[in-house]
Chains A and B, each alone.
Chain A
């Protein structure tokens, strides 16, 4: 049965909004009209496919530990607590700052200290509900305590269809879990695919996630994830976004446990009239937590990209460090690049750093290439080719590599021969 089209508004919303005229606070996701629901998801996980494990149960267990630690914490008399719990009395109580809406939310979340309530995914609840509907159920993948596990998830869609995956990943204490997610489609008519993922990394667990998005120009694609990290957990995420007419990538991570760490490495390419949207929210709640976000992209044609990156250093996250960096190469006239790297800081014993470099091929690079007979256009095409080559060389398996090559051949003539 064909489904009516749908618009999901305010998706991938950043926690602290800015001026609405910039149109950067969130994104609107258009689900094409007339698609048929057809879930095409392959999960190759061997013994890791385990419905006995539970994301909610793991969160509850962590909550118990957090509650026990909180019971011993001294009372908090900060003015911001007064401001968030009492009515705003404006100038009549001048020692209480007039909080913004997001500051209210932040303080209330801190007071409640409820991991389940705080849980969020990067693109948001509406798209998660839609993807859960498409998937028709959630697969639970688990790594046992002190064990290693691997999983490969492949999501695809066909022309005129909508396909989605919903996966929970639970890594028990000191386990190692390596997950590859491929979102690929060569559909030549409007279609949709996506995945939503919840990840719980327990004490000392290590989770590595690699996501490749290699859809054709007719596909709308969403990759949505949310992470909870317990003490000493470590997560690395690699997002490689190379195709798709419109893509929304969202990641939200709750570094709840002390000394937990997440590293997010994003590589993207947009050509033609493609649109890329990224929303990263890393909330440091545990002490000595670390996050690194590194994004690197190339925009050509009349493509558009918006990257929202938020490092939230929550009160109590003493010794935390968050770093964020983006480098964008604008390879054509007509591209539109939006970047908003936010740091929210409610704790002084922390370090937050962010930087962004947005530019074109530098004159000395052009000169070097010109000396070897390359025009500016050819030089810029080299950067495109380099991005695709890197993705192909670092592909986690042959199937994903083949997807990259197929996409590369559509963008760059004889790409396959170049990398052979």
Chain B
């Protein structure tokens, strides 16, 4: 008799899978040349140092090799990727002024509603440019700055901070796609939270890539000063096309002494997307970074938020879930550098693979000689929902400090018959038992998300308790 098997239904992408035309939009030529890079910089009227950084990054990009350890990116031909698409509008700060089709896009994604109900500020990027940015007065009165990064770049006060910090956590030499980002970045947010300021409501940026065959390269730079507190949410989506799209954003987070930053992301790109994103945080003494990360979409994903714990007793917590379905190869995880005494890190990840999808958890925990008394624990669990998928776990630990305490554990498997039997012996039906187990598997991540995001995630993971595979 064939056994019933848990199946997770494919994600219903109808909510995200719609697009509008590009009438009135400006597209640069596809490919990567110094002329294209220079034109992007000139359109933004950037300071000279930024153009120099872009051109240097382009040189680095051309001389660096593709990664050989991760999912194949042969299907990504940079000669066919348009690196800059400007929508037919300038940045607005009220929804009514945003062009109808763009406004309709974000309304269908629930962004204005979220802004009204629980956010302290919203930024919305469409293709290569921000089209909407707004922050509540209460947050502004607290001295918080939340603006487009290009806008901030034209303010002398913020330009100095941006120049000091821009691409220092993620230098263009870090990897090939960091260099690409340095060359063609466009859009993104700048957040500055002054010393001692604690914002009770989150800020959110939403990135929508509408243009076929294009890339999105937004840069997010957040500075949370000493004793301050911020929750920042990032969402992303795109319609599905039959050609490759590329997302190579960068997120640089600076967390001051005793400050706290929670950075929540749901990456829900379409299945033609190559998501080669880079995120990194640096924490000073007793500072804390919390990463909440959900990776659902993309054809190929490389995503490993990194915490550099530079200050004594600084902390990093990473909670992530990855769902790899049909045609997807998602290589996700995190990196932590324990770089000071008594630093601590926890990593808890879950991955689900089904329908021939491939999920890889990849991590590194590096304890430098300065990290005396540091502690880290890594836990990764992978659930295989059928026998045509794949799930790999590649966790690295490099420990060079004394008096450290590093623990790692990982499990891979399917839902155990013993668990089903246990629950059924207590009067629960097999279907309910399977549902309970899979919900319980994802719950540690979803409970960390804001309610609206948890609902979205639960919608993404919709269980279907039928089938008789194997």
Contacts and interface: CB of A to CB of B under 8 A. Distances in A.
Given A99-B329, A344-B392, A356 B407 contact: yes
B212 to A, nearest CB: 11
B172 to A, nearest CB: 15
Interface of B: 68-77, 240-245, 271-272, 274, 299-300, 326-329, 331, 356-358, 362, 364, 366, 369, 372, 382, 384-414, 470
A101 interface: yes
A70 interface: no
A58 to B, nearest CB: 31
Interface stretch (A17-25, A185-193, A234-242): A17-25
Given A313-B412, A344-B393, 20 more contacts: A22-B366, A22-B398, A25-B69, A80-B356, A91-B244, A91-B274, A97-B329, A98-B71, A101-B68, A103-B390, A333-B372, A333-B401, A338-B397, A343-B410, A345-B391, A345-B392, A351-B411, A354-B393, A354-B409, A357-B406
B329 A100 contact: yes
Contacts of B392: 16, 342-345
B49 to A, nearest CB: 27
Given A103-B358, A342-B393, A352-B412, A336 B74 contact: no
Return the 9 tightest CB-CB contacts between A and B, nearest first: A90-B75, A348-B384, A79-B356, A98-B72, A352-B412, A358-B406, A91-B272, A91-B244, A333-B402
A349 B241 CA distance: 35
Nearest to A90: B75
B52 to A, nearest CB: 26
21 contacts: A18-B396, A79-B327, A80-B356, A88-B75, A90-B75, A91-B274, A94-B240, A94-B327, A100-B329, A103-B329, A330-B401, A333-B372, A338-B398, A338-B399, A343-B393, A349-B387, A352-B412, A356-B406, A356-B407, A358-B406, A360-B402
Given A18-B396, A345-B384, A352-B412, A97 B358 contact: yes
A315 B71 CA distance: 19
Interface in A329-376: 330, 332-360
Contacts of B245: 91
A341 B408 contact: yes
Interface string A86-125: 0011111111111111111000000000000000000000
B397 A339 contact: yes
A334 B470 CA distance: 52
Contacts of A394: none
A19 B364 contact: yes
A346 B385 CA distance: 12
B469 to A, nearest CB: 9
Given A91-B75, A330-B404, A343-B410, A97 B272 contact: no
A346 B390 contact: yes
Interface in A50-104: 78-80, 88-104
Contacts of B384: 345, 347-348
A294 to B, nearest CB: 15
Contact of B299 (A91, A104, A341, A354): A91
Nearest to A357: B407
A98 B396 contact: no
B contacts with A: majority SS:
loop
A91 B243 contact: yes
Contacts of B358: 80, 97, 99, 103
A104 B411 CA distance: 24
Interface of A: 16-20, 22, 24-25, 78-80, 88-104, 313, 315, 318, 328, 330, 332-360
B310 to A, nearest CB: 18
B369 A343 contact: no
A98 B301 CA distance: 10
Nearest to B379: A355
Contact of A333 (B356, B369, B395): B369
Contacts of A336: 398-400
A233 to B, nearest CB: 24
A96 B411 contact: no
B388 A98 contact: no
A335 B368 CA distance: 11
B34 to A, nearest CB: 27
B243 A98 contact: no
Chain A CB within 10 Å — which of B243, B328, B358, B392 has the most? B392
Nearest to B75: A90
Nearest to A107: B390
Contacts of B329: 97-100, 103
B417 to A, nearest CB: 10
A18 B364 CA distance: 9
B404 A359 contact: yes
Contacts of A354: 393, 408-410
A340 B72 contact: no
B402 A332 contact: yes
A294 B437 CA distance: 30
